[in-house]
Amino acid sequence: MSDVKAIVGVLGPGESATPDDNEMAFELGRGIARNGWVLLTGGRNFGVMEAALKGARDVNGLTLAILPGDSDKEASENAIIRIATGMGSGRNVINALTSKVLVVVGMAAGTASEVSHALKAGRKVILLNQDEITVQFFKKIGGYKVMVANTVDESLTMIRDYLAVHVH
C-alpha cells in the first residue's frame, strides 16, 4: 500500500469567498501538490474550490472534485478527477470522509457542515486564518481534532506532521 496517496481536503465558501480566502486557497493548493498529496475540494469553478484547484494544477498536482450535481458541467477546469454525486449538499459527507486531513479557508454554512461531518468522523481539521468565534465553536465540538493555523506554511507543516504519523 505504499503507493497510496494521502488526500487532503480544502474546504471553504464558493460565492461568498473573499479575495483573501481565495489567495490562501491558491497557495494551499500549490503546497499540497508540491508535497505529493492529492487535493480534494467540492470541485466547482468558483471560490475557495476553484482557487485551491488552480493552485494545485499550477504545479501539476492531482486534483479530485466531489461535485453536487449529476454531471461534471459545473466542475472547475482544474479538476482532473470529477465525481458527480447527484447529492447536492449531501456530498459534504463524502468530502469529509475521503480526506485524511482537512484545511478550512473562509466559512459559510456548507463549509461548517463539512467541518462538523469531519469532526464527527474523527478527522483532523485545520482552521486557517479563522476568527476567534469560529475557532472557539469548532474547538468546543471537536476538541483535540481541531488545530489552528495563521498561515498557509503553518498549515502545510501541520499536515506534514500529522500524515507522517497517521498515514502509512
CB atoms within 10 A of CB 16: 15
Nearest residue to 66 (alpha-carbon basis) of 97, 36, 37, 33: 97
143-162 burial: b if 16+ Cβ within 10 Å, else e: eebbbbbeebeebbebbeeb
* Cβ contact 88:60 at 8 Å: no
Does the pTM surpass 0.85? The reply is yes
What pLDDT, on the 0 to 100 scale, is given for residue 168? 60
Boundaries of every domain in the chain? 7-166
Q: What is the pLDDT of residue 167?
A: 74
Cell of residue 140, nine digits: 468546543
Q: pLDDT 10s per residue in the chain (168 long)?
A: 468 899 999 999 999 999 999 999 999 999 999 999 999 999 999 999 999 999 999 999 999 999 999 999 999 999 999 999 999 999 999 999 999 999 999 999 999 999 999 999 999 999 999 999 999 999 999 999 999 999 999 999 999 999 999 876
CA terminus-to-terminus distance, the chain: 8
Architecture of domain 7-166: 3-Layer(aba) Sandwich (3.40)
